[in-house]
Structure formats: structure tokens, C-alpha cells
Chains A and B, each alone.
Chain A
Amino acid sequence: MLMNVKSLPSLLGEGKKYVILDVLVRWISLAAGIAMIYAVALTMDALYSGLSGGILGLFALMAASGAMFVRYLCIRASCRFRISASMAVKEGLYDRIVRKAEALGVDVDEIDDAQLNEEDVSRTAEYYSSVLPDMIYTALAALTMFIIFCILDWKTALVLPAAAAVCLIVIHMMKKNGKQLDTMLKYVPAALYTGAALTIVTVLLELKGHAVSIYGCLMVILILAEFLLPYGQKEMNPGSVPAGRMASGRIIAFLNKEKGKDGDSE
């Protein structure tokens, strides 16, 4: 079934606002987390330089306390926005499907399961309220980390994108050789963690070469430890992406259907 990709955002309707807000608060939470790490790294650098009793330490701890509450509020808000997005997408879709069914002159309950089934709406809602914001946030977080690493040390910043590129090439080659998704996923964490390890090694060598300060080096290490190294522990559900896309494709096909025609429209 061909899917009109341009129609996808239209399925979001009111949910678009919540998806944007969800990504935004998660990014603020990430920024607050990085601010906290900055405060910790600065304190440790100040300790090394003998400024432990200075205003710097106090400022760092105040920044860390502020960041702590911002992160708390952002996590709570993110979940609310995700639920609101899911509800808005579901309501909007039901409404549009009912209206379309009326226009086609068919009863909603009588729609053939092959064209549209009950789970399509919830799968689409899950895709737009959870999977899509996750994907946008992951890209945004990677970009943020890249910019921060660039500010700290550009050589260190290049390691992770290089590792990600190698990972993509390996997956593409394996896909070409007909390997299973399960086998490919085996190699994703290995690239991920090796990339993180190589980034740490690079920043250590840069510290040795006096190209980066202690706080810069500590920031890179702590950011990776907080945001990248635990990443793989979270369950990945590779099936939810194609299932969500397939469900939205079926809904779009149904909504684009013309009276008297049974085939799918593009």
C-alpha cells in the first residue's frame, strides 16, 4: 500500500501542538541536566584549582538545585503532553473516519477489517504521541550534544557522528546481505557504546595535550554517562514504527477513498 507521506502531519490535527510541547519540555529537561553536569564539572575543576570555598562553588550548587526542579517539572509535563497528544489524535481520527464513512454512505461498524481495523487508530495515536516525539527528541538531543561537544572540543565532537555513520553503513550492508532485524540490532549497542568509549578516549587525549580543561573533559564524560550509556538499557520496540506507519497509511487510504471505488488511493 502506498502512503501519501505529505498527508501524515494532517493526521495529527490538534495533537501537533502537544507533540511540539512534549519535545520542547524534554529538550528543556535535557538542557537542565546538562546545566547540572556543568555545575558539577565546574565545582570539581574549582576544587582542583583550590577555589573550593569561592562564590563559584555556591553558584554551581545553586544552578544544580534549579536544574533539579526544572527536570522534575519537565518529566511530569512531558507525560501530560504525550497523553494529550494521544487523545487529540484519537479523537480527531475517529471524527474524520466517521465523517468519511457518512460521506461514503457506509456504517462505521461495517467497514471491512482489511481496509481499516479497530487497532489502526490506537496504533496511529501511539505512533504520533510516543514514537514520533521520541524520534524528534533523539535527533534534537544528538544535535545538542554535538554542539556542546563542539564548544568544548571539536575533535571529540566528531567521534560520535563518525561512529553513528559506521553503524549506519554496517546496518545498510547487513540489510543488503539479507540479515534479520534481530541480528542487526545486535550491532547497534556495540557501535553506540564503542562510540561513547572512543569519545571519552579522545577527550582524555585532548586533556593530555592541554587542548581541553578538566571541567570540559569531565563534562563530556558525565554527559555520556548520564544520557548515552544508559540508553541501551531502555527497551527498544522496533515493531512499533512500521506498525504505526502501516496503520496511518491505512487510515490515509481510507480517508482519501472516493465513493464507489474500493482500491487504495495514493
Chain B
Amino acid sequence: MKHSVRKIMNRLKPLHGRMTRSFFMKLLGYLCGTMIPVLAGYAILQIIGHSKNLSLGLLIAGIVICALLKALMEYEVRKSERNIALQIPSLLMEQPENKEDMEVLQDFFSHTFSLCAVAAVHSVVIVILLCRYHMLTALLALSSYLVTGVVLPYLHVLRYGGSEEETEEDEALEEMDLLEEREEEQLVNSRAEALMTLLTSLFVIMMIIAVILLYRQGTMVYEGALITVVAFMSSFVPLKDMNRHLNAAADLTDIISRLPDQAEKESAS
């Protein structure tokens, strides 16, 4: 392959500053979203007398600040990503031939790329938080993030990105002559979304079983049990969003391989 993501990223060097800022704002937005129920969990513990570390007033103030910060970050990220996407075509020397390919490149480099990084960092932060209470639950969380954030997207990209093997379902889909490309894409997305929901629910159930067993053994206190469950249940948002945008990643390999080479262009001219 003459082009790669790294090569394109080099071309987008002038945008690196903005992309980094957008990444941090997005990370902050997602962390605030997760911290709202977590802080509420700590407030419950404070009210029922299981934790005296933070005052209720402080926790309530934290919840409101997180909500406002999340709203602000979401707006700023959207604005910043729109600006990044607008500048991408002028910086790419090797322009794709059709408009749709350019849209995929814009979507990937302005949004999906940073979303993957945010999902990874966000997952690490949650694993560190869970480590505070019990190593086993932290390991369970880590494995769930690896399955939903690495294995599932990999399989999705592999299948959506032009796998030759067809399942019975795909064959049935082909028989429906009226299905347009966009509708097929919707089906693939819904399959991924349904699988993601199934897996996250399965991991939540596993986490609850682990928490019950650890609590009964006396190796985990009630504070740990509550915060672990609340934090874990609220932590899948960036991974779900990442999976929703994987079509851009799946199309990317194909588009990059079709990009006209600059050297070839120059020699031809």
C-alpha cells in the first residue's frame, strides 16, 4: 500500500494541535459523563453512612459541574471537529476521486481517530478506579473493554471491509434486490450495535456476580461493590460510540489503497 494512515497524518500536521485539543476536550466530556453517576454513587454512600470522605454538598456541586462541563465540551468538540473536517481536503495532496471517499476520510480523521484514542484512555481510567477496590473486578473490566473495544471492532472491520466469506444472513440479504447500499450498511451497523449491547449486558451480569461473591467473601466492602457496579455500567459510552463509527475505519483501508499516488501524478504531468 502506497499510502498509510501515518502518511496521511503527516500531511495533516498543521491540524495536529487542533486534533490534540479536540481529543482532550472529548476525553473530558466522556469522563464527566461517567463521573456524574459515580459521584452520585459516592453521595448515596455518604447518605447511608458508608463513606465519610467527601461532604454531600461537595459531591452535589461536582455532579452539577460535570453536567455543565459535559455540555460545554460536547458543543466545543463538535465545532472543532467541523473545522478540522473542513480543512482536511486542502491539506491532502492525494485527493480521492469521489466525494463520498473524501467524506469518509474527513469523518475518520476528524472524529473516529480521536474517538478510538478517547475510548482507550477512558477505559484505562475506569480500570484504575476499579483497581482501588479489587483487582479481580478491574481485570474483568479490562477484559470486557478489550472484547468490546478491540475484538468486536476488529471482527466488524474484517467483515464490513470486504470479507469474501458470506454468512447465511448475507446471502438472504442479497436476495432482497431492493436493498440499497445504505440500507445494507444500516443492517451491518445494527448487527454490531446489537452484539455490543448483548456483550456489555453480559459483562454487567458477570460483574454483578463477581461483586456479590467478593462481598460475601468479605474481600470487598459495600463502597467498592456500589462504585464498581455504577462506574462499570456507565463506562461503555465511548466504546459504543466508537463502534458506531467503525464504518469509516472499515472503508478507510479500501479508500487509502485507491488514492492516486502523488509521485505517479507528478511523473505523469
Binding site for B on A (CB under 8 A): 36, 40, 43-44, 47-48, 52-53, 57, 61, 64-65, 67-69, 71-73, 75-76, 78-80, 82-83, 86-87, 91, 185-186, 189-190, 192-194, 196-198, 200-201, 204, 207-208, 214, 217-218, 221-222, 224-226, 229-230, 232-234
Contacts and interface: CB of A to CB of B under 8 A. Distances in A.
A204 B190 contact: no
B256 interface: no
B48 A48 contact: yes
- For the complex of A and B, list the 10 residue pairs with the smallest distance between their C-beta atoms, beginning with the closest: A79-B190, A197-B67, A68-B201, A75-B194, A190-B71, A193-B67, A189-B71, A225-B37, A72-B198, A225-B234
Contacts of B225: 44, 47
A82 B67 contact: no
Most B-side CB within 10 Å, residue of A67, A201, A226: A201
Given A190-B71, A208-B47, A229 B36 contact: yes
A165 B48 CA distance: 33
B2 interface: no
Given A68-B201, A72-B197, A225-B233, A79 B67 contact: no
A64 B71 contact: no
Given A186-B75, A222-B230, 11 more contacts: A44-B225, A47-B222, A48-B48, A68-B197, A69-B198, A72-B197, A76-B191, A204-B56, A221-B230, A225-B230, A234-B241
Most A-side CB within 10 Å, residue of B66, B70, B191, B222: B70
Contacts of B204: 36, 40, 64
B209 interface: yes
A208 B205 contact: no
A83 B191 contact: no
Contacts of A233: 33, 74, 237, 241
B71 A193 contact: yes
B201 A71 contact: yes
A174 B158 CA distance: 47
A83 B179 contact: yes
Most A-side CB within 10 Å, residue of B66, B216, B234: B234
Interface in B1-58: 33, 36-37, 40-41, 43-44, 47-48, 56
Contacts of B68: 190, 193-194, 197
Interface residues of B, number: 55
Interface of B: 33, 36-37, 40-41, 43-44, 47-48, 56, 60, 63-64, 66-68, 70-72, 74-75, 178-179, 183, 186-187, 189-191, 193-195, 197-198, 201-202, 204-205, 208-209, 211-212, 215-216, 222, 225-226, 229-230, 233-234, 237, 240-241, 244
Nearest to B70: A193
A222 to B, nearest CB: 6
27 contacts: A40-B208, A40-B233, A47-B211, A47-B222, A64-B201, A64-B205, A68-B197, A69-B198, A71-B194, A71-B198, A72-B195, A73-B194, A75-B193, A75-B194, A87-B183, A189-B74, A194-B64, A194-B68, A197-B68, A218-B230, A222-B233, A225-B230, A226-B234, A230-B240, A230-B241, A232-B71, A233-B33
